[in-house]
Structure 1
């Protein structure tokens, strides 16, 4: 079930399904020639936070870690921070709404992404429009991402390209929403007064 906070800005209501803290795991496979010791194909854990403060954007933060075979964190993998907006499409049909994302990554990459919401379902397709890199970051020329809310989970897959490497999948994850303390308190308040009746 998708809840829409009463103080969410009307411009980003269509992104309400993203809101919250999400945790889970996925698979990482670096582009050929871009793996280094410790960053070969691996499983990773991830925490994504989408939050809002009433303004017409949603803040996005992602942290991920390399996991060992038992699911324990070994080392950080990559971090991202960005802002998601819903705007009027200047490139396509008149009045069409699109998703616009500005993002910075811990490897010194800055990206501008554009995409659109799928008709009738909580799914977003994004593609890079601009990429800037600091000297020393891995070669990277663009990417695509797909985010979807499926059976109460947030699923996503990312594709990446480099000057010598065509677009290919490199990261995907399956995440579950973490309940906030406020939601836990609300659930407790819904229990019968004596608490015991819950078990009868």
Structure 2
């Protein structure tokens, strides 16, 4: 029968909206990335983890970000966070993140679209009893996304905390 199976079901995937000009310089981030990382801090034991990050856009001048990690041996969920990245035409960027631990971050920084580097520093770390500052540096080199996260607490100065390398899926 003509038209059979075309009504009553869920719609197909929506077409991807056009890339907003503000997002275009960071389009190299868009997509899903997966890999492994390692963490540590003077006050905790070192650990390794699996990770997936997704960057997406809706046609607006913002990139949606979501991240999740898991224990490599068991697959048990660890940390997750999500938020929005707002690149500005002058190379500045604003990021807001909510972490599964209840911490929220407002970060500001810069991006270099040609070198594919984003540098962020916390303006605010909210709802954190001990964390006072977080920096993040993301870089895409040879098709891999790597990052380094540093953290300062009430008891420590800025120290390396996390680093990972991910490949685009």
Match of 2:147 among 121, 143, 156: 156
| Cα deviation, residue 12, structure 1 | 1.1
Q: Is 1:22 the equivalent of 2:33?
A: yes
Separation (CA, whole Å) in 2 of partners of 1:147 and 1:6: 25
1:84-123 → structure 2 map (5 Å cutoff): 84-87=85-88, 96-118=90-112, 120-123=114-117
Which segments of 5 or more consecutive residues in structure 2 lack a partner in the other structure?
1-15
Show structure 1 runs of 4+ deviating over 3 A: none
Q: Is 1:51 the equivalent of 2:51?
A: no
* 2:160 corresponds to: 169
CA deviation string 1:7-28 (max 9, x = no partner): 1111111111110000000101
* 1:121 to 1:65, Cα distance in 2 relative to 1, 3 A: same
Separation (CA, whole Å) in 2 of partners of 1:85 and 1:65: 27
Higher share in strand: 2
Separation (CA, whole Å) in 1 of partners of 2:88 and 2:144: 26
Q: For 1:165, what is the secondary structure of its paired residue?
A: coil
Separation (CA, whole Å) in 1 of partners of 2:101 and 2:78: 10
Separation (CA, whole Å) in 2 of partners of 1:6 and 1:56: 12
CA RMSD after TM alignment: 1.7
* 1:157 to 1:131, Cα distance in 2 relative to 1, 3 A: same
Which segments of 5 or more consecutive residues in structure 1 lack a partner in the other structure?
89-95, 179-200
Higher share in helix: 1
Aligned residues: 154
